[in-house]
Structure formats: structure tokens, C-alpha cells
Amino acid sequence: MDHLGIRESDLEESFVRSGGPGGQNVNKVSTCVVLKHLPTGLTVRCQAERSQAQNRHAARCLLVRKLEARAREKRNAEARSAAKIKLQKRKRSRGSKEEVLKSKRERSEIKHRRRRVNFDE
């Protein structure tokens, strides 16, 4: 949590009753942990274990994984946009320039042939 800059004061923790298998312990004790990361608004719920302490640890691990994935996606998006800009700014090779100009000339000739002939002249 330290390398992502997550502090305990940034977390809002609440406990609710779990459901599913686990017997009487699950039905009587609030073992499900709900963690909310206040700066991002990301909420995580964990009821994997029968113990509240184990669920607290698992919820923190899950929250860290989600925040890491979010940060990774942000870095990837920035890298993609930088690569796109670099690709747009690069100079074209001589061959590709000639190819583009050739296709433009061909298109121009097609349009020129399509014009109406003026018989008044």
C-alpha cells in the first residue's frame, strides 16, 4: 500500500453480515468487509473467509490490485497517445510521398474526365 501512496486514513471501513456457506458464524457475526478508498471512490467488498481479520487483509489486497490496475491503464493510455502523436509527426518517406501524390493525380484525372463539356466555346 505504501508504494501506491495509500494511507489508512484514506480508507473507510465497514462491516456487514456475510452470506452463503459458513454456517452459524457467518449468519451471526459481521465478517464481510467493505472498504472504500475516499480519494478515488473505489469500493471493494470481501467475504471470502469466515474470519473478519482475514477478510480485512484480503479486502486491502484486492483494493491494492484494483488501484494498481487503474494506474497501469492510465500509464498505458498516456503511452499510446504519445506514440500516436509521434507517429503523426514523423516525416513520410520519399516513396510514400510519391505514392500519395500519384493517387491524388489519378483521382484528379477521374474528376476532370467527369466534368461536362461546354459546347458554347
pLDDT tens digits, one per residue of 42-75: 999 998 888 889 999 999 999 999 999 999 999 9
Instruction: Give the contacts of 62 (CB within 8 A, at least 6 positions apart).
Output: 44, 46
First to last CA, the chain: 83
Q: Is the pTM of this model over 0.85?
A: no
Share of the chain above pLDDT 70, in %: 94
* Strand residue runs (E) in 48-95: none
- Short-list 72, 75, 71, 20, CA closest to 45: 20
Provide the residue ranges of all domains of the chain, joining segments of one domain with +.
8-88
Select from 3.30.160.20, 3.40.50.2300, 3.60.15.10, 3.90.70.10 the CATH code of 8-88.
3.30.160.20
Separation of alpha carbons 64 and 4, rounded Å:
8
User: What mean pLDDT value characterizes the chain?
Assistant: 87
* Strand residue runs (E) in the chain: 11-16, 32-37, 42-46
- Worst-scoring range by mean pLDDT, 49-53, 80-84, 97-101, 115-119? 115-119
Backbone angle region of 60, left / alpha / beta, with phi > 0 → left and psi within -120 to 50 → alpha: alpha
